[in-house]
């Protein structure tokens, strides 16, 4: 990636995060509760291994959804940072101890089972209408997804964020992976192909089934 593209990503990240930070905290809490029912749209089957994330700062809070998934028979895991380049996914269980994971997040300790997710709920700083994502700059998820692909896995990639984090266009590099879907405050958006407009299921479909 050229320096110009890196600078563009940095600017887009800062602007999108500023918009997210400006959202009313009450609105963010209401959206988190609504997303507790998001499997009505995601339609993840019991027994599926799903990676989520413990919210930091103004991120969309997935905890209501993650615990509902656990109660519905899915195995949920959270990222754990091993070093400056690597994350693994440890199983989240009700009542199990959580430890500081850095950056203001928490997760299962080293006694938790290591899992390989087939559905990944991924945090982001920004995204565009083609399904390209800007993360926080450390590249943990890019490397984790590449490792899963190398091991023969093809996880479903569902980014999670607010619509206000959308940007006109994300500069992409050769290693970037296009998202399959985005779960946001207004629903579930699918990105089947970069050349097509995204399919969309609105948030009022959460209770449709």
Instruction: Classify the C-alpha dihedral 39-47-153-32 as positive or negative.
Output: positive
Tell me whether residue 139 is annotated as binding: yes
Tell me whether residue 200 is annotated as binding: no
Average pLDDT over residues 120-147: 94
The boundaries of the domain holding residue 68 are 3-205
Tell me whether residue 134 is annotated as binding: yes
Write out pLDDT tens, residues 5-55. Answer: 889 999 999 999 999 999 999 999 999 999 999 999 999 999 999 999 999
For residue 190, give Cα distances in angstroms to 39, 66, 121, 204. 15, 20, 14, 16
Tell me whether residue 11 is annotated as binding: yes
Tell me whether residue 172 is annotated as binding: no
Residue (of 138, 140, 148, 143) closest to 114 by Cα position: 148
Domain count, the chain: 1
Tell me whether residue 12 is annotated as binding: yes
Q: Are 79 and 135 in contact (CB under 8 A)?
A: no
CATH code for the domain of 188: 3.40.50.10420
The predicted structure's pLDDT at residue 196:
43
Specify the higher pLDDT residue, 205 or 201: 201
Does residue 108 carry a pLDDT above 60? Answer: yes
In the chain, the percentage of residues whose pLDDT exceeds 70 is 90
DSSP letter string, the chain = --HHHHHHHHHHHHHHHHHHHTS-HHHHHHHHHHHTTTHHHH-PPTT-EEE-----TT----HHHHHHHHHTT-EEEEEEE-SSS-EEEEEE-TT--EEEEETTEEEE-TTSPB---SEEEEE-SEE-TTS-EE-SSS-HHHHHHHHHHHTT---EEEEE--GGGB-S-----TT----SEEEETTEEEE-S-TTSPPEEEEGGGTT--
Write out pLDDT tens, residues 136-146. Answer: 988 899 999 99
Average pLDDT over residues 118-139: 95
Tell me whether residue 137 is annotated as binding: yes
Tell me whether residue 13 is annotated as binding: yes
Tell me whether residue 136 is annotated as binding: yes
């Amino acid at each position: 990636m050229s320096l110009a593209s890196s600078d563009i990503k940095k600017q887009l990240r800062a602007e999108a995060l500023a918009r997210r930070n400006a959202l009313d905290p009450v609105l963010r809490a209401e959206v988190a509760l609504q997303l507790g029912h998001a499997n009505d749209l995601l339609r993840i089957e019991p027994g599926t291994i799903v990676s989520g994330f413990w919210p930091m700062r103004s991120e969309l809070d997935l905890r209501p959804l993650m615990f509902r998934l656990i109660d519905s028979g899915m195995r949920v895991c959270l990222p754990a940072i091993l070093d400056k380049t690597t994350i693994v996914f440890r199983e989240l269980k009700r009542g199990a101890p959580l430890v500081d994971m850095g950056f203001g997040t928490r997760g299962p300790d080293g006694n938790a089972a290591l899992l390989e997710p087939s559905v990944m709920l991924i945090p982001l700083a920004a995204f565009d209408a083609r399904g390209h994502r800007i993360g926080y700059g450390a590249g943990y998820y890019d490397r984790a997804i590449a490792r899963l692909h190398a091991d023969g896995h093809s996880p479903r990639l569902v980014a999670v964020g607010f619509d206000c984090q959308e940007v006109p266009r994300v500069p992409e590099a050769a290693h970037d992976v296009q998202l399959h879907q985005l779960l946001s405050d207004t629903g579930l958006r699918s990105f089947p192909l970069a050349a097509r407009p995204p399919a969309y299921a609105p948030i009022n479909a959460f209770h449709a089934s």
